[in-house]
Amino acid sequence: MKKLNELLPHLFRLEYSKMTAVLCRHFGLQHIETAEDIASETFLKATETWGVNGIPENPTAWLYTVAKNKTKDHLKRLSIFETRIKGNIQPEAAHTEPDFDFTQQTIADSQLAMIFAVCNPANSTEAQICLALQILCGFSVEEIANAFLTGKETVKKRLLRARASLRNDNFQIKQLTEDAIRSRLDTVLRTLYLLFNEGYFSRSGDHLVRKDLCSEAIRLTLILVENPLTNTTKANALLALMCFQSSRLDARADDAGDAILFEQQDKTLWSKELIEKGNYYFVNACSGNDLSKYHLEAGIAYWHAAPANKNKWAHILELYNQLILLEYSPMTALNRTFAFAKVYGNESAIVEAEKLGLEEINYYHSLLGYLYAGIDTGKAIAHYTTAIRLTRSPSEKKTLAKEIERLVQKNGPPPL
């Protein structure tokens, strides 16, 4: 039974969204609830049947066979279909294919179209990510709320509004057009970028890293890169960035989920396979003339994962200089200052950091705490203490408290 309890959640996270996408391709997005009901009923039947008869030889094939049969049963209920569904959808969406299937090609095409449907520019960024987590990644409302330190009711409201936009959007999930791709690709890439970032530096729970979010973001970005219509240099750059960053995930946190600073990470835990994949997609990304924020961030991540090189931090600083001109953000400015410290020293970097005037951001004080650590213990502890007060991340609070403890043990408490 323990094996079943482990297998079903894994299959649900992996296959539910694929199943829903194919069913939406069949029924139309305005009937997404019908598609989700059939997918949910399929997994419910698996729970009941496998618990009695055992796990089938090919669990995934079993699920898709049941989903296919349940879809056919649904379509046979002619009175319900005619009165509640068929009259409300377009003729082309109402067409039922005699050989309804879940081939790999149908699944891939349906998921690609669903990604573009979910990333509707009419919705807020928060709503897009919530919808992506629920529909594309199979996350529950509670999981989404935990991922963003938001109440379940807030998430429910976001999803309610986003789903209404999804149903009323008239977006054709059956076939992506070039116009649909052009109009939404930047939104799609940004949503997947933010989804990955939420996993890479989680703001919730006791863990700094949410590997499940990172994995889902990579899986969905890979769908873009594997389709000729969406295999752009930007998409390759984003996937390269995700691979480079993910290569260090096992080294970024200890068994308790607490953060391990970059300089203290065990480099033997870095994934060579993911670094090689990052290199592959980065080469593809540089095949054209585009220079996006994803290209620059992928370049920065490449140098972080690269072997020791005397010019490593100079290269990183130059890339940050370009990135900050292309798209300024407080985090980019702070990260650039860290690289500046590596090139010109901590004292010069403190001057740079204080010019930013980001006193209300916890990362600003974390950085100054780090920069002052070898210069003025009192100021370092003061900045770390302020950072603890400003952050909402339990994991970050613990990491900063450890740094304060380390400074006290090394240098003694600061003078009163």
Position with higher pLDDT, 84 vs 364: 364
- The percent helix, strand, coil of the chain (3-state, each to 5) is 75, 0, 25
Residue 50 CB contacts under 8 Å (≥ 6 apart), including other chains: 4, 8, 56, 59
Residue 400 lies in a domain: yes
109 and 226 housed in the same domain: yes
pLDDT tens-digit map of 289-332: 889 999 999 999 999 988 878 899 999 999 999 999 999 999 99
Share of the chain above pLDDT 70, in %: 89
Residues 137 and 178 occupy one common structural domain: yes
Confidence of residue 97 (pLDDT cuts 50, 70, 90): very low
User: Rounded mean pLDDT of 89-97?
Assistant: 46
- Position 343 in a domain: yes
Query: Do 67 and 132 lie in a common domain?
Result: no
* Between 395 and 84, residue with greater pLDDT: 395
238 part of a folded domain: no
Return the closest-CA partner of residue 152 out of 161, 142, 160, 162. 142
Instruction: Based on the fold, state whether residues 293 and 320 are members of the same structural domain.
Output: no
Say which CATH number the domain at 416 has: 1.25.40
Average pLDDT over residues 25-29: 84
SS3 for 259?
strand
Q: Are residues 205 and 119 in the same domain?
A: yes
The residue type found at 183 is S
CA–CA gap between residue 80 and residue 123 (Å, rounded): 32
Evaluate if residue 396 carries a pLDDT over 80. yes
Are 115 and 220 within 8 A, CB to CB?
A: yes
Q: Tens digit of pLDDT for each residue in 74-92?
A: 877 644 556 555 555 554 4
Alpha-carbon distance of 58 to 61, in angstroms, equals 6
Domain boundary among 170, 204, 231: 231
Residues 326-342: pLDDT tens digits?
999 999 999 999 999 99
Does residue 380 sit within a domain?
yes
pLDDT at 100 over 70: no
Q: Mean pLDDT over residues 135-159, rounded?
A: 83
- How many Å apart are CA 18 and CA 26, to the nearest integer? 13
Same domain, 143 and 174: yes
For 42-63, b/e burial (b = at least 16 CB within 10 A) is bbebbeeebeeeeeeeebeebb
More confident residue, 239 or 212: 239
Determine the structural domain holding residue 280 and report its residue range. 243-307
Half-sphere exposure of 193 (CA within 13 A, CB side): 20
**CA quadruple 35, 36, 39, 44: dihedral, nearest 10:** -140
Which residues contact residue 267 at a Cβ distance below 8 angstroms, ignoring those fewer than 6 apart?
A: 251
Same domain, 86 and 112: no
Whether 237 is in a domain gets the answer no
Of 182, 202, 231, which residue sits at a domain end?
231
pTM value is 0.82
Predicted confidence (pLDDT) at residue 152 exceeds the cutoff of 60: yes
What number of residues does the chain have? Answer: 416
Place of tokens 């618990």: 51
Point out the domain boundary residue: 48, 78, 102.
Answer: 102
Where residue 409 falls among pLDDT bands split at 50, 70, 90?
confident
Provide the domain count of the chain: 4
User: Rounded to whole angstroms, how far apart are CA atoms 132 and 194?
Assistant: 11
Check whether residue 178 and residue 144 sit in a common domain.
yes
Q: How confident is the model at residue 209 (pLDDT cuts 50, 70, 90)?
A: low
Residue 226 falls inside a structural domain: yes
Name the residue type at position 44.
Answer: L
| pLDDT tier at 125, thresholds 50, 70, 90 | confident
For residue 91, what pLDDT is reported? 47
What pLDDT shows up at residue 328?
A: 92
What gap in Å lies between CA 130 and CA 194, rounded to an integer? 11
Task: Note whether 167 and 251 are same-domain residues.
Answer: no
Where do we find the tokens 């950091």?
A: 353
Measured distance CA(29)–CA(102) in Å, rounded: 18
Compute CA distances 322 → 66, 197, 302, 315, 358, whole Å: 53, 21, 16, 11, 21
pLDDT of residue 416: 52
| Residue among 127, 133, 166, 162 nearest 147 (CA) | 133
Residues 6+ apart with CB under 8 A from 243: 218, 274, 275, 277, 278, 281
Quick one: 227 and 122 in the same domain?
Answer: yes
Residue 266 located in a structural domain:
yes
Is there a contact between 370 and 362 (Cβ–Cβ < 8 Å)? no
Return the SS3 of 171.
Answer: coil
Could you tell me the two tokens for 3? Answer: 């094996």
pLDDT of 93: 44
Q: Are 295 and 232 in contact (CB under 8 A)?
A: no
Backbone angles phi, psi at 259, to 5 degrees: -70, 145
Q: Is residue 56 part of a domain?
A: yes
Cα–Cα distance measured from residue 293 to residue 271, given in angstroms and rounded to the nearest whole number: 24
What's residue 92's pLDDT?
Answer: 45
Same domain, 288 and 256: yes
63 and 77 share a domain? yes
Q: Which two tokens stand for residue 118?
A: 């979910």
Spatial CA neighbour of 354 closest among 339, 342, 371: 371
